[in-house]
Amino acid sequence: MNIALVTCQSLAQYAAPTVEDEDALLTRFLRAKGHRVTPEIWTDAAVDWPGYDVVVLKSPWDYFDRVQEFYAWLDRMAALGVPMLNPGARVRWNADKKYLLEMAQAGARIVPTHWLPRGSRFAPDALFAALGTDQLIVKPAVSGGAKNTFSLDRAQAHAAVESLELLLQEEDFLAQPFLPQIQTEGEWSFIYLGGQFSHCVLKTPKSGDFRVQHYLGGHIEPHAAPPHLLATADQLAARFAPDCLYARVDGVEADGELLLMELELIEPFLYLASAEGSFARYEEALQRVVAVS
């Protein structure tokens, strides 16, 4: 296949010395399998997207900084009839974390979430009461890389009212209770390729932090998937990402069950280097999904 591997202008801020360049590793593997692979920046107006057999979203990690431009790009790709993985409609749905509400309404168990629409007031006392917590996580509905994500106790939340209301003038936010399991037990990521479970990692933040991203000092540990959590992740991937080349189900264990934090379908790091055979499974999934799309 002639493949466009979609990226962004700069990945430098997401690099970590302890983690290999997944884009480079994947490109090398796919080329060794006989595919033509060209990294393409999604904002580059000169790219001949219809000239590719398939366009694979890999690391457009700035999409949330320019989301309206990203939506327009998805519309253009659809109008051109460009085959995209993951599918454009699924990607658009996944870009705004309001998808979590839809998943919850469909029966998925998500982290309790209170939505803060653009232009609304930030009322910390009401949020602490509604969510039954003494520590809030506040983040944009369209975001990534822990951008504008805050962990606030009661005093910090009251001190942040003015700054958060300024942010709320620009976009929707959401508030959730801080989950201590992230620091004590870690956050699970279950990776699916072509609808089939591939591998699992456990992510923990550096000491004193709550963010698990590797480029923020988080630790990644390959781990056998706990069967009782995997069963739930399997159901979520099958129901909400049935047509996807890749999906990453992120969550924590609460009361013996998987509590969903994110379903990542746009540009997740897939931890391919952490699991033997994962690059081969990726290529097989690519062949399989393209064949039926």
Helix pair 88-95, 67-80: axis angle to 10 deg: 170
With beta carbons less than 8 A apart as the criterion, state whether 270 and 221 touch. Answer: no
| CB-neighbour burial class of residue 283 (10 A; exposed 0-12, middle 13-18, buried 19+) | buried
Interval 31-46 mean pLDDT: 97
CATH (domain of 86): 3.40.50.20
pLDDT tier for residue 210 given thresholds of 50, 70 and 90: low
The verdict on residue 287 lying in a domain is no
pLDDT in tens, 70-127: 999 999 999 999 999 999 999 999 999 999 999 999 999 999 999 999 999 999 999 9
For residue 231, the domain's CATH number is 3.30.470.20
User: How far, rounded to the nearest angstrom, does the alpha carbon of residue 35 sit from its chain's CA centroid?
Assistant: 26
Do 105 and 202 belong together in one domain?
yes
What's the rounded Cα separation, in Å, for the pair 46 and 143? 27
Other beta carbons within 10 Å of 97 = 20
Domain-embedded: residue 258: yes
Residue 284 lies in a domain: no
- Does the pTM of the predicted model rise above 0.85? yes
What is the 8-class DSSP label of residue 51?
G
Mean pLDDT computed over every residue of the chain: 91
Structural domain range at position 72: 2-93
> Of 176, 50, 58, 55, which Cα lies nearest the Cα of 113?
176
Query: From the centroid of its chain, how far is CA 19?
Result: 18
Alpha-helical segments (H) within 96-226:
99-105, 124-131, 154-159, 161-168, 181-184
Is residue 162 domain-shared with residue 76, that is, in the same domain?
A: no
282 within domain boundaries: no
